[in-house]
Amino acid sequence: MGESTGRAQGILLLAVLAAVISQQVLVPVLAPLSREVGLTPVELGLVMTVAAVLFAVTSLFWGRVVDRWGHRRVLLAGLATAGLGLVGFAVVAQAALAGLLSPGATLAGMIATRSVVFGIGLGAVPTAAMALIARRTAPGPERTAGIGRLGAVQGVAVALGPALGALLGFAGLLGPVWLAPVAVLVSLLVVAFWVRPAPAAPRADDEPGDAPRPVRPWDARMWPVLLTGFLAMLSLGLVLIVVGFLVQDRLGLDAAGTVRMSGLMSFLSGVALVLMQGVVVPRLGWPPVRLLRVGLPIAAVGLLVLAVAPGVVTIGLAMVLLAVGLGLAMPGYTTAATLQAGPQGQGGVAGLVNATNGVTFVIGPLGGTALYTLGTGAPAFVAAFACLLGALLALVHPALRSARPEPAATVGP
């Protein structure tokens, strides 16, 4: 990897960090803000769900556009759109707190800005970063390490964002709300001035014609990889939403104690996830299929422990095991997907991967809360089954068993 490529990737990772932090920094203030402006919990959930749906859907669009425009233009467009959405959200929130908007107008404004505009723009950022990493690294340990660092950066943002939002709470509810667009717009300026357009990717012999052949989710070598990744990410989505309920019910805590203990569990699992993706995976140098075959069973063990864990130590151990397993499996899944296309198809692959991830966080919270009504361990048992099914797929399906660190020429329409 050349110095300019390394610098470009570093700036892109910082852009991803800023974009995800801008999303996560709002987490501590959304619930109290929604109450102050007269929204119900269901209405707040609608704001978040619409954003997740649009992130998933538009990731496919951005993936196709990356292959035509290049990563820099897509990243600039995505950051500008996301920043515009967050500025609009801050204006709506400020007006609502000042009593200038009715609850209905506030809800409509939040959906238009935080859900639609921001959700569309956010989908471009990790898609462009992943496409660049896959396009500018050699298939094998170098690409796996790059994908792992991308996942680690997103994990750091998820861990730091809520803490930063809580810290900024001293400035009132609008402190984090106005910080979020500032972080995105600063990263937009950095990308605009310091990232140069990438040269055209070399065309493989099997890519005739003027346009790259699109990668579709039902391609014979793509759908098993996407399904395996879907099962892995779904297992996380099913349990994240109910960890707070589980901690409170199993340990008999009050609301304040639940917040503290849930925060501790999230911190432990977040640290483990970042270390696995950012440090361990690059050092291991394993092929992606091995990361899947080892990581998914470890995650399943963690989920089975979580399903029956009676105390704080066992719950903490379960969350760390889950993070270790998924910290191995997630870079394996993403890297395996990039191997199913040549250099000019990496934008489409990135869009498919991010869309798959987005769908799991639409389905997961709904499924997890529904399963929890059947029993405190039900979401974890179902999530463990999903992990084991993904591990079985990685073991037996020819598309994964024969995965090699080279672009596949057989992915067709």
**Does residue 406 surpass a pLDDT of 50?**
no
Are residue 83 and residue 147 in the same domain, yes or no? yes
Whether residue 171 is found in the same domain as residue 238? no
- Listed in sequence order, the residues at least 6 apart from 403 whose beta carbon sits closer than 8 Å to its beta carbon are 287, 288, 289, 336, 339
According to DSSP H, which parts of 168-254 are helical? 174-194, 223-240, 243-251
164 and 281 inside one domain:
no
Predicted pLDDT at 7: 66
- What is the per-residue pLDDT for 10? 75
Q: Are residues 182 and 228 in the same domain?
A: no
Looking at the structure, tell me whether residues 265 and 383 fall in a common domain. yes
- Would you state the structure tokens that stand for residue 411, as one six-digit string? 């992915």
Look at residue 328 and tell me if it is in a domain.
yes
Domain count, the chain: 2
Burial class (CB in 10 A: 0-12, 13-18, 19+), 41: exposed
Model pLDDT for residues 281-308, shown as the tens digit of each residue: 888 888 888 999 999 999 999 999 999 9
**Are 49 and 167 members of one domain?**
yes
Question: Do 127 and 188 fall within a single domain?
Answer: yes
Mean pLDDT of all residues in 92-104 = 92
Domain of residue 268 covers 223-401
65-74, 318-327, 346-355: which is most confident? 318-327
Phi (first) and psi of residue 51, to 5 degrees: -60, -45
CA distance 272 to 257: 23
* Range in 60-69, 99-108, 328-337, 345-354 the model is least confident about: 345-354
pLDDT of residue 169: 63
User: Which of the two residues, 197 and 247, has the higher pLDDT score?
Assistant: 247
**Residue 17 belongs to some domain of the structure:** yes
Of the candidates 194, 210, 239, which is a domain's last residue? 194
121, 120, 110, 88: which is closest to 33 by C-alpha? 110
What is the pLDDT at residue 108? 94
pLDDT class of 112 with cuts at 50, 70, 90 = very high
Task: Indicate the average pLDDT of the chain.
Answer: 80
Distance of CA 297 to the CA centre of its chain: 21
CA 54 to chain centre: 14
The pLDDT score that the predictor gives to residue 207 is: 44
Residue 321: is its pLDDT beyond 90?
Answer: yes
pLDDT of residue 212: 52
Q: Would 62 be classed as within a structural domain? A: yes
- What is the distance between the alpha carbons of residues 334 and 232, in angstroms, rounded to a whole number? 11
Is residue 413 one of the residues assigned to a domain? no
DSSP 23-66: HHTTHHHHHHHHHHTT--HHHHHHHHHHHHHHHHHHHHHHHHHH
Please report the pLDDT score of residue 1 as a whole number: 47
For residue 412, pLDDT over 50 is answered with: no
CATH number at residue 92: 1.20.1250.20
Whether 201 maps to a domain, the answer reads no
Residue range 259-263: average pLDDT?
70
DSSP secondary-structure letter at 210?
S
Does 260 lie in the same domain as 152? no
Position 410 in a domain: no
DSSP assignment, residue 147? H
14 domain residue, yes or no: yes
Residue 400's pLDDT is: 66
Pair (310, 185) in one structural domain: no
* Stretch 247-271: mean pLDDT: 76
Helices (H), 70-101: 71-97
73 alpha-carbon distance from chain centroid: 21
207 falls within a domain: no
- As a whole number, mean pLDDT of residues 10-20 equals 81
Residues 232 and 378 in one domain: yes
Token pair of 69, please? 């425009």
- 332 and 380 both lie in a single domain: yes
Using the CB atoms, write b or e for 203-242: b if 16+ within 10 Å: eeeebeeeebbbbeeebebbbbbbbbbbbbbbbbbbbbbb
Q: Kindly indicate the confidence band of residue 394, based on its pLDDT and cuts at 50, 70 and 90.
A: confident
In single-letter form, the type of residue at position 289 comes to: V
